[in-house]
Structures are given as C-alpha cells and as structure tokens.
C-alpha cells in the first residue's frame, strides 16, 4: 500500500492526534489563543488534557501544529494581466470559507505576538512571490503586496471575525465584483 512519503511510521494514536488538531483549530478560530484552553480542546477531542501535552509538548506547540497554513495561491503566470485581481479575490474567498484555520490565525495574530509574526511569514513566503508575477516594477512588489493584504485581510476581518452584518450578507460574486478592481489596481496600476 502506498504510504505517505517518508514521514511518520503510522502510530496507533494517529486518530487521537488528528482529533486533537481538529478540536484545536475549531477552538482557536472561535475563541482566540488565550481563551482557548487545553482543557476544553481535550474535552472536544474526547480525551484527557495530559494527552495534548504529551503529543504537542505545550500550548504553543499545539498552536504551531494546528495552524499550518498553505494558501495554495494560484500561478498567475498563464493568466491575462487584467484578471489577476479577480483570480486572487476569488481564491481568497474560497480558501477562507473552506478552512477555519485562517480565521484562527487572524484571531491569534491580532492578540499574540507569535501569531503576528506567523502572519508576517505567510505574507513574505506566499503572497510576495505571487505579487512578483503580477507587478511590473520589482522594486514595488512589497508595497503592492502589502496594499493587497490590507484589502484582503480587511475583508476577512469584517466578514469572518467582526461579522459586520452587511459584510456577512454580501454574496461571493458581489465581493469579487467590488474588490477585484481594487486588488487589480494595487498590483498592476502605475503609481497614483
């Protein structure tokens, strides 16, 4: 049978470990880092709190293991220049709604220094390369990527964390229609 590459030797406790990670993601997303307790996470997973410590070492270790983010940003290379905004916004919306990890990370990043640094890392390692594909002037890539981040994270904040009613009520298509031109301009327009 084809195993995972060359990682773990398939321990007997894998289902428990996975249950812990699932519960942790849910709690971190709903409550943030400080209010999500190991005890409630363990109860959600149906096991003893000490198991969490044994498998993940500490609360920080658990958070690090639970929130492993891959934005899976698309390759903008083959795309027409004027569709990158719409492609990015659509992709972000889909990622955010299928995966509570992103909400967890945003919540924690807003309170916790370690969380904020993790988000800086994701920005640098995942968004910057994509912006490099869309932005003509290489020197401007960080600025353009940061502007894009303000709009995309602002949407996530108001829609998934603060839940401003009008932002929640918007349909995905409406959001794309409104935000795509903004992101498009931030990435590809000449300096204003």
Partner DNA sequence: CGACTTCGTCAACGCTTGTTGGCCTACAGG
Partner DNA sequence: CCTGTAGGCCAACAAGCGTTGACGAAGTCG
Footprint of DNA (CB under 7 A): 11-13, 16, 36-40, 46-54, 58-60
What residues from 10 to 29 belong to the interface with its own copies (CB under 8 A)? none
Which of DNA, its own copies, none is residue 79 near (CB under 5 to 8 Å by kind)?
none
Nearer to DNA, 5 or 12 (CB): 12
Question: For residue 122, what are the contacts with CB-CB under 8 A and spacing of at least 6?
Answer: 69, 71, 105
**Residue 131 tokens, joined:** 């912006």
Q: How far is the CB of 183 from its own copies (least distance, A)?
A: 10
Nearer to its own copies, 11 or 163 (CB): 163
Dihedral, CA atoms, 170, 171, 173, 178, nearest 10 degrees? 0
Answer yes or no: are the C-beta atoms of 180 and 188 closer than 8 Å: no
Q: How far apart are CA 49 and CA 34, in angstroms?
A: 16
What residues from 54 to 93 belong to the interface with its own copies (CB under 8 A)? none
Backbone angles phi, psi at 96, to 5 degrees: -70, -35
Q: How far is the CB of 3 from its own copies (least distance, A)?
A: 38
101 binds its own copies (CB under 8 A): no
Which range, of 18-26, 39-47, 92-100, 111-119, touches its own copies by CB under 8 A?
A: 111-119
Instruction: State the sign of the Cα–Cα–Cα–Cα dihedral 106, 107, 108, 110.
Output: positive
181 binds its own copies (CB under 8 A): yes
Nearer to DNA, 17 or 144 (CB): 17
How is 57-126 classified by DSSP, letter by letter? SSHHHHHHHH------PPP-TTS-GGGHHHHHHHHHHHHHHH-HHHHHHHHHHHH-HHHHHHHHHHIIII
Which of its own copies, DNA, none is residue 38 near (CB under 5 to 8 Å by kind)?
DNA
Q: How far apart are CA 138 and CA 147, in angstroms?
A: 15
Contact residues for its own copies, defined by CB under 8 A: 31-32, 34-35, 106-107, 109-112, 116, 119-120, 123, 142-143, 145-147, 149-155, 157-159, 161-167, 169-170, 174, 177-179, 181-182, 185-186, 191-192
């Amino acid at each position: 049978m084809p195993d995972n590459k060359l990682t773990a030797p398939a321990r007997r406790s894998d289902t428990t470990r996975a249950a812990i990670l699932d519960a942790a993601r849910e709690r971190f997303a709903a409550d943030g880092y400080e209010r999500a307790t190991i005890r409630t996470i363990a109860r959600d997973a149906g096991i003893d709190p000490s198991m969490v410590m044994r498998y993940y070492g500490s609360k920080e270790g658990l958070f690090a293991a639970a929130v492993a983010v891959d934005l899976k940003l698309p390759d903008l290379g083959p795309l027409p220049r004027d569709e990158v905004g719409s492609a990015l916004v659509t992709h972000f919306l889909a990622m955010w709604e299928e995966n509570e990890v992103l909400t967890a990370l945003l919540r924690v990043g807003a309170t916790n220094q370690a969380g904020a640094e993790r988000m800086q890392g994701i920005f640098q390692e995942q968004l910057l390369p994509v912006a490099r594909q869309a932005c003509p002037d290489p020197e401007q890539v960080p600025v353009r990527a940061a502007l894009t981040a303000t709009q995309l994270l602002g949407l996530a904040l108001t829609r998934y964390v603060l839940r401003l009613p009008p932002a929640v009520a918007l349909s995905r298509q409406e959001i794309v229609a409104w935000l795509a031109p903004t992101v498009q301009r931030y990435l590809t327009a000449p300096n204003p």
